[in-house]
Amino acid sequence: MQQIGHFIGGKIVSGNSGRFHDVFDPVIGQIQAKLSLATIDELGLAVASAKKAQIDWAATNPQRRARVMFNFKALIERDLDALAALLSSEHGKTHADAKGDIGRGLEVVEFACGIPHLIKGEFSQGAGPKIDMYSMRQPLGVVAGITPFNFPAMIPLWMSAVAIACGNAFILKPSEKCPSVPLKLAELLQEAGLADGVFNVVNGDRIAVDGILEHPDIKAISFVGSSAIAEYIYAKAATYGKRVQAMGGAKNHAIILPDADLDQVANDLIGAGYGSAGERCMAISVAVPVGEQTAEGLIDRLRPKVESLKIGVPSDASTDYGPLITAEHRQSVLNWIEKGIAEGAELIVDGRNTKLQGYENGYFLGGSLFDKVTSDMESYKQEIFGPVLQIARSENFEQALAMPSSHQYGNGVAIYTKSGGLAREFASRVDVGMVGINVPIPVPLAYHSFGGWKRSAFGDINQHGPEGVRFYTKTKTVTARWPEELLGSEFVIPQMK
Ligand code: NAD
């Protein structure tokens, strides 16, 4: 059985804790590797290596650091197919989706190539009599990222590309469910010319996470995962005096006004609701048609599309989506479907019994569609994170606007309408961090910043883009006055001794 270790000080090292996590192949439901879970000492080695390497890395000029990012970008492109196949083998998402996952991360690497421009600081000449004032952005030192299973390439790259280009050293603690792509990225960074120790991967569970939170040499923590853990990370990291951004779960609504193009909406909802088996933090999980006619028209179009979704293996190009990540997660989604039925929602497409011939032990689940979901139902209030779309009918614009606004999560939301005025009103009033207008999954590009509101994000600085640069740097402001008497006097060049 393959054993997976860590990447510390510029090389792959096998773990020595004797504790392992089973990494599954979700297509066949079997263990494919044993992941070593780090000890506090192993984490300590990674931090010590990062701390040492960061001094020279921070002193390397920004354009040389950016050149490493240019090389890294080219290497990811070179290995895209192999990385995508590796990613699918642990996650189960289709190859097209896996390439999308890597591609969105690659865009952040491209953004990081231009970071010298964003850290060059500000200068005010003559801020007072003979006084100049300037500010510079300096790296924090050693920083860490803790990432979820659902984007094994994109999310580690959101964090690490920006942090490293700003002059920090990085410790990544990836999801124990999909550890291999992060290790490959570490090797590619090495090949791109990154010095040993600037990027480290420490695989582990709560012991490693707590070690990261408590380590005095780690100055900032980026976290993406479920809200309960995000809140824990945020609170604990703050007590240890660290800078922290912690992104959590989601329940993203799509509001459909009566003037919307229902064919477009139905097509978009199939991709946004069921793509990647619904295991996306920006998946649309609730559709809110306004008015009975809109609801009926939407259901007429959606039902046959959900019934004909093609569940399959990741390498089959005609597959709409693959298996869920683990047997436990599949069971949790099934439990939510049972709960929805018990709460009185109408299950109008039932994907529970879908099996894939030849892969009966894989974690596959068909697409399910609920109608008549209401905001008092627990299955509406919580994140399901599976191939389940809930229709929650509303009577008017104000009622529809209130649904995402009063939900505990506030990651993304979409509105479908031809009315510019209503779309504008919605975008300005809705209590959610990322808004799509006739766009189902409004994920900001790398040069903007990504982040939700309410229980979808703890901390106030978002991922990547300008906010990512702010997160991974601290501002130093210098006020300088030079002695007046030198002005007009003969200038004497100081002699070197
Ligand atoms: P998760 O919270 O289970 O795990 C995330 C990370 O936390 C992993 O590295 C894991 O090892 C670690 N972790 C898990 N339990 C822990 C514990 N008790 N103590 C310390 N560390 C712990 O999340 P997941 O299942 O990997 O990912 C899915 C979740 O992530 C969903 O809720 C999804 O909405 C969310 N997500 C959010 C965003 C966003 O940007 N808001 C993006 C992607 C995923």
134 and 121 in contact (C-beta within 8 Å)? yes
Residue closest to 159 by CA, chosen among 444, 460, 471, 454: 471
Q: Which secondary structure element, helix H or strand E, spans residue 14, and what is its range?
A: none
- Does ligand 1 lie within 6 Å of residue 228's CB atom? no
Q: Indicate whether residue 320 lines ligand 1 (CB < 6 A).
A: no
Q: Which residues contact 490 (CB under 8 A, 6 or more apart)?
A: none
Domain with CATH 3.40.605.10 in the chain: 2-248+456-478
Measure the CA–CA gap between 219 and 170, rounded to whole angstroms: 10
Q: How many CB atoms lie under 10 A from the CB of residue 304?
A: 10
Closest residue (by CA) to atom 18 of ligand 1?
Answer: 206
Residue in the block written with tokens 């492109």: 77
User: Cα 359 to the chain's mean position, in Å?
Assistant: 30
CA of 168 to the centre of ligand 1 (A): 24
Cβ of 176: how many Cβ atoms within 10 Å?
A: 18
Greatest C-alpha distance within the chain: 90
User: Coil, helix or strand for 407?
Assistant: coil
* Cα–Cα distance for residue pair 211/73, rounded to 1 Å: 31
205 CA: nearest ligand 1 atom:
11
247 sits in the region (left: phi over 0; alpha: psi -120 to 50; else beta) called beta
Q: Which atom of ligand 1 is nearest to the CA of 175?
A: 9
* Nearest residue by C-alpha to atom 20 in ligand 1: 206
Report pLDDT for 482. Answer: 82
Q: Could you confirm whether 178 is annotated as catalytic?
A: no
Do 338 and 379 touch, CB atoms closer than 8 A?
Answer: no
Left (φ > 0), alpha (ψ -120 to 50) or beta: where does 24 sit?
A: beta
Q: Is 203 in the pocket of ligand 1 (CB under 6 A)?
A: no
Six token digits for residue 212 = 């990261």
CA–CA distance, 151 with 281 (Å, rounded to integer)? 10
What SS3 state is found at 173?
strand
Tokens of 446: 């790398």
Instruction: Give the residue among 433, 330, 349, 334 at the shortest CA–CA distance from 390.
Output: 349
CATH 3.40.605.10 correct for 2-248+456-478: yes
Residue 357 in contact with residue 394, Cβ under 8 Å?
no
Amino acid at 86: L
Side-chain-side CA neighbours of residue 417 (13 Å): 23
In the 8-state DSSP scheme, what is residue 362? S
Per-position pLDDT tens, the chain of length 497: 999 999 999 999 999 999 999 999 999 999 999 999 999 999 999 999 999 999 999 999 999 999 999 999 999 999 999 999 999 999 999 999 999 999 999 999 999 999 999 999 999 999 998 899 999 999 999 999 999 999 999 999 999 999 999 999 999 999 999 999 999 999 999 999 999 999 999 999 999 999 999 999 999 999 999 999 999 999 999 999 999 999 999 999 999 999 999 999 999 999 999 999 999 999 999 999 999 999 999 999 999 999 999 999 999 999 999 999 999 999 999 999 999 999 999 999 999 999 899 999 999 999 999 999 999 999 999 999 999 999 999 999 999 999 999 999 999 999 999 999 999 999 999 999 999 999 999 999 999 999 999 999 999 899 999 999 999 999 999 999 987 765 666 666 667 66
Dist. CA 200–CA 189, nearest whole Å? 10
Cα(414) to centroid of ligand 1, in Å?
24
Is the minimum distance from the CB of 456 to ligand 1 under 6 angstroms?
yes
Looking at residue 180, what is its pLDDT? 98
Question: Would the CB of 105 count as within 6 Å of ligand 1?
Answer: no
Helix (H, G, I), strand (E, B) or coil at 405: helix
Q: How many CB atoms lie within 10 A of CB 263?
A: 10
Phi, psi of 239 (to 5 degrees): -70, -25
Ligand 1 atom 38, closest CA = 281
Instruction: List the one residue out of 361, 32, 427, 54 whose CA is nearest residue 217.
Output: 54
Listed in sequence order, the DSSP H helices in 166-291 are 180-191, 206-214, 227-239, 262-274
The ranges of the chain annotated as CATH 3.40.309.10 are: 252-437
Query: 170 CB contacts (<8 Å, ≥6 apart)?
Result: 50, 142, 143, 144, 145, 159, 160, 163, 164, 198, 199, 200
**Token pair of 386, please?**
């599976």
The answer, yes or no, to whether any atom of ligand 1 lies below 6 A from the CB of 384, is no
Residue ID of nearest Cα to ligand 1 atom 21: 206
Tell me the C-alpha distance between 78 and 100, whole Å. Answer: 15
For the chain, give the number of residues: 497
Domain at 252-437, CATH homologous superfamily: Aldehyde Dehydrogenase; Chain A, domain 2 (3.40.309.10)
- Report how far residue 376's alpha carbon sits from residue 85's, in angstroms, rounded to the nearest whole number: 42
- Nearest-atom number in ligand 1 for the CA of 249 is 34
